[in-house]
Structure 1
Amino acid sequence: MTAERIPFNSYLALPEGKEFSVKFKERFPFSVNAFGLNIQHNFSDKYYMAPDKAGVEILVLGHIYDPFSGRSGEDAVLEIVEMYSESKERFYDILAKCSGRFVVFVGGKKMLEILPDACASLPVNYFSPAVVNDSNEFAVSSHAYFIREAFSLPLCSNVRSLSSTRFYHLGIRHCPADMTEVEGVKVLTPNLSLTYRAGELRAQRIFPRSNRLERDVNEVINEVSRVLLSSVDCLAWFRKPIFCALSGGVDSRMTLAATVGQRDNFQFFTFAGEGNARRDLLCTKKLSQLLSLRFEEIQLSNVHPSEEFSVLYHGLQGETRAPNVKDTFARQQYFGVNDNFEVRSSISEVSRSFVRRKFHTAEMALTADAMVPIYKRVPFSRKWHELIRQEFATWMERSSFRDVEKYGYDWLDFYYWEIRVGTWQALVLQDADYYTNPTVLFNNRKLIELMLSAPEKYRKDDTLQVMIMSTLDGDVLKTPIVKNFGKKAWFREILESSYLKAYQALIAR
């Protein structure tokens, strides 16, 4: 790899004493020695507190804020470390209220806990060679590639074979369960923490820990609206330029509604293009005129990525994201490399019955078999089904996923949250790290829990989101919401439903 700068929000944590190669030292501008680890990183937002009287230290990489209390940055970190010393339960509760994009290291040399944000939008890839050589070493990183280089690991042959199939290239591309493209490296899915103690590295579920409580929809709407307004105020506290990507869809319209009191601090934009010009752009231009937004229509140049950028991108993002290198490079060329916030509007869809709506299905039993064809379109092959099924079965055990149903939640909602969002969306946000600092207002476990507590009839379509928008700023609804993929959406859903039924009949048990 060449000396092209590594993206924002990259990190690699290795045991103290394990030497970094020269290319690592040259690329990571910052380092922290804590918890018996040497942590190299490229974060502009970071918070470290030395061990207190109880020996507890904490490091937070990334921007963090608590919209429920209105605390941002160091104040939010002080709040969570105080709770850690008092009670693990209270610590998990206060962390659940935190938004942003971050990873938390907390504890000491004898016991360390590593926790990602609500949707693991900042990945925690982890590896322990103890299974091979009884070593107590382990590594965690934003990118599986860094761990691969540190331990000279091979690429995962199963993922490489899967990514070469035609079916893999239909729709979005991400690894099944918690696999990565590097052999032996796993990614920590949302709602889990990673604990290192007595030479053992173990994932454990931290949410849900109590039964789902169905709430009155108006109570949900009022609280969610309050928190979203506070989230925007917290973002403004960081004093960074804030850009916001707008589409014609419901999720970005919710973000727009939440900015009602801070719009002078936002620069909104929509990418022009063959598809967008007929769908998103027409809608967002009307909205910008109606609401007097600072708005820009962006036409990206059709430029070929430099060799240095391509090598870096392919090395870090792997074959899964390889087709996106041109678009990512074009955005970097347009925006430059700046520590701004770029607000995205993904994750909101977790609160909708997304999987049921996509596949037109009412009930599905919680099994590893059922997870295979809804992970993505996979080949009609018993060989591939069994391989992927086993990965999901192992992940279910490792993540205690059956607890989701035990606490009264729909497992399909959590499957979307933890697999689709926790793997694919995390990779999408990492594309933005090459030029800016992406963030999502809905990346908050308590906020998602609130929206999931609304009665099902409000979550089966866009009703809940529309009601929240009406409360925040009804003017954002003065132009029609554009359904994703326009008129093709209905046809796509029928195809997805037909695929699932055929797969279940021919392959799944």
Structure 2
Amino acid sequence: MASIKKHRKQWFIANNGNLNMDQLQDFLSIKLSDHAVLYYDSDLRLTYFDWPDGRKTLVLGLLLGTPESSETMYYHCGRFVAITSGWLSLDATGSMGVFYSEDSSREPSGIICGSSCALIGEVFHLPLSGRDLRSAHMKFDPAPLSRLPNMKRLFIDQKFNLKDGSVVVHPRSVSSQINFEEASLLLEKELTNIALELKKTKRPIYLALTGGSDSRAVFSALIKAQTDFEAFTFLLDEPRSRIDARVAKSLCSKFGIQHKSILSEGSNAADLEVYFEHTGRCGGDRADRYVSGNYYRYLPDNAIVLHGGAFEIGQRSFRETFKYVEFSNVEKAPIDIEKSYFDNFDEKELNAYKEWLIYRQKNPIAGVDMLDSFFLDQRRAAWGAANRQAEDCYGFDWLVFANSWSIIDTLLRVSVEDRCNNMVEERTMERLVPGILTIEPINPGIDFITKSKKLFYSVMRRLNRIISRGR
């Protein structure tokens, strides 16, 4: 059964090796250099790599496989940051978010960077500030916004120098376009390799399985690689959740996989308080529901828990939501995004979006437009990272299966039309497990009465938000 602990698997780097950490008894420290000391929770995984040129890399977090070089680590699946020769870099989608100090003076006992605003704020007695996300529609802080003074979130294609605080761009790109058949062959290979690497970990593997295509793609790869796993579905108080559970049970029955539908088990106020202390109340918009309902009780501390996550970029996400957003207009686009979310951003959020737009226009990811950049920089590296950080307070590792640049590159290389029709992912599933799409349809529909109720409640929520803003 999962156990909960504040600041589990979190870390920060400071310029002082003599900090008093008595309030965090499970924390250890390592001297990285004369100017940087790593403080980390004992449950955080550390891995070292020695390269032929004499350099060394320290990886914080979960990394699958053995990289060929320090420059290509983000092509591997995992959730990690890498430190090589004093430079810190992120994984494919920044799923382990990093906040770094903008204070170049770094007075004694100064913070350099870290994974958690709540942890840094507690240790250095710094106030957290930001909008209450519980009643917001956009339930995350947009990159590069931080809730700590003089700190920013690192973008996925940036590298941070631990010695002098400088930030450089490590350019990323997407390869030339190919057809969906070619892409499905590449994706089949990538997904199978990840499933085989998971088998090597010798850890219990759990899959969050729904009626959607993303988790079924993961399911198919695990079946093809003959990797042992169990599946589960959280039964939330909404119609879609029940359909997800039925589809997941049907898929698992077909292949002899154990499946568990997990109901809420009352209110867990004690765990929820620890969770809020762990996240600083800015942990995305999912884990708080799972914690308060005690859903995580089913997952053991030593498990690797899988979900699709980054597959969504292959479906041209936000194309309808941001249909009228003029990303080329730095002044207007943040307002357009705000309207698209039916939200009411504060000044810091609007400025963060403006800073992101300026940065991404100056440093584009080759082959990626601003709509897909939003998905990478905001949906995954801000919202997704906040959710994953929140779940770190439990012992298990929650892993985004498609979090490798090899997969993202493949998904973005096909035409927009094929992406919108989800051609690559569905063709890949058929290659992995022939017939997998005929057992149950992808995201089967909800009946008319349920749809009507869902639409009614959606309209009422939006009206309530508009009324609350006008007060």
Is TM more than 0.5 here?
Answer: yes
The structural deviation recorded for 1:304 is: 2.5
Q: Deviations over 1:174-230 (max 9, x none)?
A: 012311222222222323222244x3x233332325x75112322211011111001
Q: Deviations over 1:332-388 (max 9, x none)?
A: 7623651210011111111221111334459753535314443672656xxx57654
1:465 aligns with 2:425: yes
Query: In 2, are the aligned partners of 1:144 and 1:182 still within 8 Å (CA)?
Result: yes
CA 1:223–1:408 in structure 2 vs 1: closer, same or farther (change >3 Å)? closer
Stretches of structure 2 that go unaligned for 5 or more consecutive residues are: 467-471
1:31 aligns with 2:29: yes
Structure-2 residue corresponding to 1:391? 352
Letter in 2 for 1:367: V
Bigger CA drift: 315-324 or 147-156?
Answer: 315-324
1:415 aligns with 2:414: no
Query: In 1, are the aligned partners of 2:15 and 2:108 still within 8 Å (CA)?
Result: no
2-structure distance, mates of 1:139, 1:427: 20
CA 1:372–1:177 in structure 2 vs 1: closer, same or farther (change >3 Å)? farther
2-structure distance, mates of 1:420, 1:315: 23
Equivalenced residue count is: 448
The structural deviation recorded for 1:250 is: 1.4
1:282 paired residue among 242, 246, 271: 246
Structure-2 residue corresponding to 1:87? none
1:454 aligns with 2:414: yes
Structure-2 residue corresponding to 1:173? 139
The structural deviation recorded for 1:128 is: 4.1
Structure-2 residue corresponding to 1:248? 211
Query: In 1, are the aligned partners of 2:145 and 2:348 still within 8 Å (CA)?
Result: no
Query: In 2, are the aligned partners of 1:249 and 1:484 still within 8 Å (CA)?
Result: no
Q: What secondary structure sits across from 2:318 in the alignment?
A: helix
Q: What secondary structure sits across from 1:356 in the alignment?
A: coil
1:124 paired residue among 73, 76, 98: 98
Query: In 1, are the aligned partners of 2:284 and 2:390 still within 8 Å (CA)?
Result: no
CA 1:319–1:432 in structure 2 vs 1: closer, same or farther (change >3 Å)? closer
1-structure distance, mates of 2:320, 2:423: 13
2-structure distance, mates of 1:136, 1:148: 13
1:142 aligns with 2:104: no
TM-score by length of structure 1 reads 0.78
Q: What secondary structure sits across from 1:140 in the alignment?
A: strand
Q: Deviations over 1:313-349 (max 9, x none)?
A: 2223123349743522544762365121001111111
Structure-1 residue corresponding to 2:69? 80
Query: In 2, are the aligned partners of 1:155 and 1:182 still within 8 Å (CA)?
Result: yes
Query: In 1, are the aligned partners of 2:16 and 2:109 still within 8 Å (CA)?
Result: no
1:319 aligns with 2:319: no
The structural deviation recorded for 1:249 is: 0.9
How well do the aligned residues superpose, as a CA RMSD in angstroms?
A: 3.3
- Superposition map of 1:103-502 within 5 A: 103-107=81-85, 112-130=86-104, 137-156=110-129, 159=130, 162-163=131-132, 169-197=135-163, 199=164, 201-209=165-173, 212-263=175-226, 265-275=228-238, 276=240, 278-306=242-270, 309-321=271-283, 324-325=287-288, 327-328=290-291, 330-331=293-294, 334-335=297-298, 338-360=301-323, 364-365=327-328, 367=330, 369-374=332-337, 377=341, 379=343, 387-397=348-358, 399-404=359-364, 407-435=366-394, 436-478=396-438, 479-482=440-443, 488=451
Q: What secondary structure sits across from 1:5 in the alignment?
A: coil
Letter in 2 for 1:202: S
The structural deviation recorded for 1:14 is: 1.4
CA 1:263–1:51 in structure 2 vs 1: closer, same or farther (change >3 Å)? closer
CA 1:136–1:433 in structure 2 vs 1: closer, same or farther (change >3 Å)? closer
2-structure distance, mates of 1:352, 1:366: 25
CA 1:431–1:366 in structure 2 vs 1: closer, same or farther (change >3 Å)? same
Query: In 2, are the aligned partners of 1:103 and 1:116 still within 8 Å (CA)?
Result: yes
Bigger CA drift: 295-304 or 355-364?
Answer: 355-364
Stretches of structure 1 that go unaligned for 5 or more consecutive residues are: 66-71, 82-90, 504-509
Letter in 1 for 2:103: P
